Amino acid sequence: MSDPTVVIAAIQTVSGPCVEDNLTTAGALIHEAAAAGARLVALPEYFAIMGLRDTDKVDIAETPGHGPIQSFLATVARQHGVWLVGGSIPLRSPVAGKVYNSCLLLSPEGYVAARYDKIHLFGLDLAGQSFSESRTITPGDTVCTVPTPLGRIGLSICYDVRFPELYRAMGSVDLIAVPSAFTDVTGRAHWETLLRARAIENQAYVIAPAQGGVHPSGRRTHGCSMIVDPWGVILGQRETGPGVVLAELKLSEVARVRQSLPALSHRRIAAPGGTA
C-alpha cells in the first residue's frame, strides 16, 4: 500500500487589535498555503486579535458555534478543502471577565472536528515584562486528540509546550499542533529546544505556527514558526514576519522512527491518568 506524502503548512502572523484586518491577512496566507498543495494548515495563537490590552480579547469573545471568527474559519476550510487548525480564539467562559483560549480543528467541509481549551496559563515576570493569562483566561481541563485521514492530531497551545505530561497523556499521536505567541525573551531561550524535545520524545511531527514580530501594542513575539519531524529535524521555519512554512508529512516516517527506536514501548512510568 502506498504511503502518500501530505503537505502541511504553518502560518505566521503579526496580528494587531483589528479583527477584520487580521482575518484578511490570515485568509490570504491560507490561500497561499492551499495553492502550494497544503492539506492541513495551522494558524498561530491569537491570530484574530493581539490587542492593545489583555481585556481586548474578552471584549470580542464569541459563543461556541457563533461569531465572525468561527464563521471565517469554517468558510476558509471549506473553500480550500483543508484541515484547519484555528490557532486560538477567545470563547466565552462561565467566569465573568474571562474567556477560554480555544483551538478549533476544522474539517475540509468546514465542521468543527475538535475543540481544545488551553490548560496551562502563561505567567512571566522577567526582563521588564509581566504577563498573567489567569487574569483573563479560564483554564481548560481536557486533553484533546482527534483521528483524521492525515493521522491522529493532538491539540495544544503555546505555554502547554513546557509540560511534557500533557503530550504523554495524548497517547499515540502522529502530529502535535502547538499554535503559539511566544514572547521574544522566552522564545530565544527555549522555543526551538522545547518543540524539538516534544517531537523527539513523542516520536511525532510537530507543527508550531507562531506570532512573529512587533505588534501595535509594542509587544515583540519570537516567531520562528516551524515544522519538526519525529526524529527532531526541523523541516522548515520562518524567523519573523507574516508568511507560510511548508513541509511534508508521511505516516510511514512516524512508524519507521518508532520501529527503529521503540522508546514509547520501553516506558516504565505511567502518564497521568494512563498506563506505562
Using DSSP's 3-state secondary structure scheme, residue 90 falls into strand
Q: What are phi and psi of 179, to 5 degrees?
A: -60, 135
Candidate list 45, 62, 133, 253, residue with the active-site label: 45
15 within 8 A of 60, measured Cβ to Cβ:
no
Residue 158 annotated as catalytic: yes
Q: Which of 105, 107, 182 is nearest to 144 (CA)?
A: 105
Candidate list 118, 133, 144, 224, residue with the active-site label: 118
* C-alpha distance across the termini of the chain, in Å: 31
56-85 in b/e form (b: 16+ CB < 10 A) is bbbebbbeeeebebbebbbebbbebebbbb
Q: E-assigned strands of the chain?
A: 6-12, 38-42, 83-85, 89-92, 99-106, 112-117, 123-126, 129-132, 144-148, 151-155, 175-177, 205-208, 212-214, 220-222, 225-228, 234-238, 243-249
Residue 250 annotated as catalytic: no
Angle at which helix 68-80 crosses helix 19-35, to 10 degrees, equals: 10
Candidate list 133, 158, 224, 253, residue with the active-site label: 158
SS3 per residue for 158-208: HHHHHCHHHHHHCCCCCEEECCECCEHHHHHHHHHHHHHHHHHHHCCEEEE
Residue 98 annotated as catalytic: no
- Non-local (6+) Cβ contacts of 110 within 8 A are 74, 75, 77, 78
List, by residue number, the catalytic residues.
45, 118, 158
